[in-house]
Structure 1
Amino acid sequence: MLATFTVIADIAREVAGDAARVESLTRPGVEVHDYEPTPGDLVRTEGADLVVTNGWGIDDWLLTLVERQDAPHVVLSDAVDPIAIETGHYAGNPNAHAWVAPGEGARYVEALRVAIGDLVPAERAAIDERARALTARLESLGERLREGVARVPARQRVLVTCEGAFSYLARDAGLDEASLWPVNAGGQGTPQSIAEVAAIVEERQVPTVFCESTTHPGTQEQIARDAGVRFDGSLHVDSLSTPDGPAPTYLALVEHDIEAVLEGLGG
């Protein structure tokens, strides 16, 4: 079984257990949006019994490979109600980063439970049990997030990030969202967006601003210095960390991001 990037590969791995071998096309720390498939990726895709993609544009680079072979293909974002990107070139398109929020992650788990169970029907009972356990963990993390945010002063309930990749988590947690650039903008904040974020930080007295681990933090660090607030550049989104990092698994990624956000906002 083959997944496009490390995050969804790990979700699939947790659901499959010993029932199937799961590989990721990309390695930890690799930028997913602009990944260019290699000839070796074509060979791996052709040999897969099931191909798992996120969809909504983030891994469309695999579609030409998938079209060349007959393996079943599950698109995890099909299980999620999309939030539209509001600004930039991709305005109106779905924000692809649904897995960051525990509730949407649970929808990914359910889609994989069905697809892997169909692939290995003799292992369906064990697959179902692992999916239930993973969903329960995600539900617990979702409760932790909501309870923590409820302790943050209402004025300060703003999640300020570099890329607008946390729309689902912010919505589910009851946080407003502000970012320097929209999803897929390649790390380019405009003078207007930078000024708007800086104004929000000051007006809402936001205690911490964040950046994703795979993006350049310079502008956000400057905003933090100018406002006299804390900067945290440790959030993980598109990629797991190496085994010795803070997000070596999907559950660890979600937990790390939630704890970082709550610590930064005072929840």
Structure 2
Amino acid sequence: MPHLRSRRLTLPLTALTASVLVLGLSACGTSSLATESNSGEKPVVLTTFTVLADIAENVAGDHLEVESITKVGAEIHGYEPTPGDIRRASKADLVLDNGLNLEQWFEQFVNDLDVPHAVVSEGVEELSITADAYAGKPNPRAWMSPLNVQIYAQNMARAFGELDPDHADDYSDRAEAYNGQLQEVQDELASDLSALPQKKRALVTCEGAFSYLARDAELTEKYIWPVNAEAQATPGQITSAIEFVDDNDVPAVFCESTVSPAPMERVVEATDADFGGTLYVDSLSEADGPVPTYLDLIRHDASVITEALTGENS
């Protein structure tokens, strides 16, 4: 389980990086939430993306100010931190990251910042990526299992308790209550997807982001590319997806909200499968959108998958 870590590493000493850090560490007049909070308000917890922020808010309650580095709709794997991000991180009291090689930019992001951080996925039973250059490495999107997020919540409660001992019991109680909600969502997901007949229990997506959900729901997973990268959806990958859909009579395929559906549209054009809908993984939606919270995200994805594969949305 994670404990708060205060680490001071080294960024590449380019002129741009040096100027960013100088700007970030000296910007006492910045009007960010972190600056205001550290002036005598709540301690600031900065997460790497919106899903973690929502989970953290459920555990933190009113005791902490929780923010996300990335905004709604951002693709987290290849994110490039901005000068403003570094300013905010330098003023934070705690930074939370997912780990499992998700935030490849994170090490450099916090290198010269003497700010403690915790890895919220510690203790999760990892699933490995099985294809291409990433084969054998852990699949980072462990939060796509509500059972795993129960571990995330416990890790956050422990980290928050170390940061703010006066409210440690409250964080623990809130994590326990939230885990009850997570169990309800897990039970709903299993119940919804149990309706799928065996021949339709295949989940075909753009990215291999659903390994943990597929495991929990006993679905066969197939994706076009394993991890988002600058060069993705090669002809061979698309051909492999087309063959899988044809061989297994897959009725519907899906793509994630943070990537282009164009490669999956080629699969649809070449097969009898329908495009089943957009799934959410790396980012929540705006408050008035379909997935403003993590619990909404899992419910949305389970509903879209079930309705498309059973033909209920046709």
Matched, 1:226 2:270: yes
Is 1:190 aligned to residue 245 of structure 2?
A: no
**Cα separation, 1, equivalents of 2:194 and 2:81:** 43
CA-to-aligned-CA distance 1:24-58 (integer Å, 9 cap, x gap)? 11110112122111222222112111110011222
- Alpha carbons 1:117, 1:123 under 8 Å: kept: yes
Q: Deviations over 1:159-210 (max 9, x none)?
A: 0000011011101111110001111334622323222222222222222100
| Aligned twin of 1:122 | 166
Q: In structure 1, give the amino acid aligned to 2:282.
A: D
Q: Residue 170 of structure 1 corresponds to which residue in structure 2?
A: 214
Distance 1:7 1:93 in 2: 22
Alignment-derived partner of residue 105 in structure 1: 149
* Pairing 1:43-122 to 2, within 5 Å after superposition: 43-122=87-166
Please tell me the residue identity of whatever aligns with 2:163.
L
Q: Secondary structure at the match of 1:89?
A: helix
Alignment of 1:144-223 (within 5 A): 144-186=188-230, 188-223=232-267
SS of the equivalent of 2:136 reads: coil
Tell me what 1:244 maps to: 288
Q: How many residues are aligned here?
A: 267
Q: Deviations over 1:88-107 (max 9, x none)?
A: 22222111111011111111
TM superposition shift of 1:219: 2.3
Asked if 2 retains the 8 angstrom alpha-carbon contact of 1:213 and 1:233, the reply is no
* Distance change in 2, residues 1:127/1:143 (3 Å): same
User: Would you say the 8 A contact 1:145–1:262 is kept in 2?
Assistant: no
Query: Alignment partner of 2:179: what SS?
Result: helix
Rounded to whole Å, the distance in 2 between the matches of 1:187 and 1:177 is 22
- The answer as to whether partners of 2:192 and 2:302 remain within 8 angstroms in 1 is no
SS class of match (2:186): helix
Question: 1-side partners of 2:306 and 2:180: how far apart?
Answer: 21
Q: Among the aligned pairs, what percent are the same residue?
A: 45
Runs (5+) with no aligned partner, structure 1: none
* Counterpart secondary structure, 1:94: coil
Match status 1:143 vs 2:187: yes
Q: Distance in 2 between matches of 1:62 and 1:164?
A: 21
Unaligned runs of 5+ residues in structure 2 are: 1-44
Q: Which residue of 1 aligns with 2:8?
A: none
Give the C-alpha shift of residue 68 in structure 1: 2.2
* Residue deviations 1:126-157 (CA, integer Å, cap 9, x gap): 22222122211111111122222222111110
Q: 1:219 & 1:46 partners in 2: Cα distance?
A: 39
- In structure 2, C-alpha distance between the alignment counterparts of 1:94 and 1:248, rounded to whole Å: 27
- Given the two structures, how large is their TM-score scaled by the length of structure 2? 0.80
Distance 1:230 1:196 in 2: 17
Match of 1:27 in 2: 71
Letter aligned with residue 262 of structure 2: G
Larger radius of gyration, structure 1 or 2? Answer: 2
Quote the Cα distance in structure 2 between the aligned partners of 1:80 and 1:260.
Answer: 26
- Matched residue type, 2:250: V
CA separation of 1:133/1:153 partners in 2, compared to 1, >3 Å: closer, same or farther? same
Matched, 1:253 2:303: no
Match status 1:8 vs 2:52 = yes
Q: Which residue of 61, 73, 84 corresponds with 1:40?
A: 84
Structure 1 consecutive aligned stretches of length 4 or more whose deviation exceeds 3 Å: none
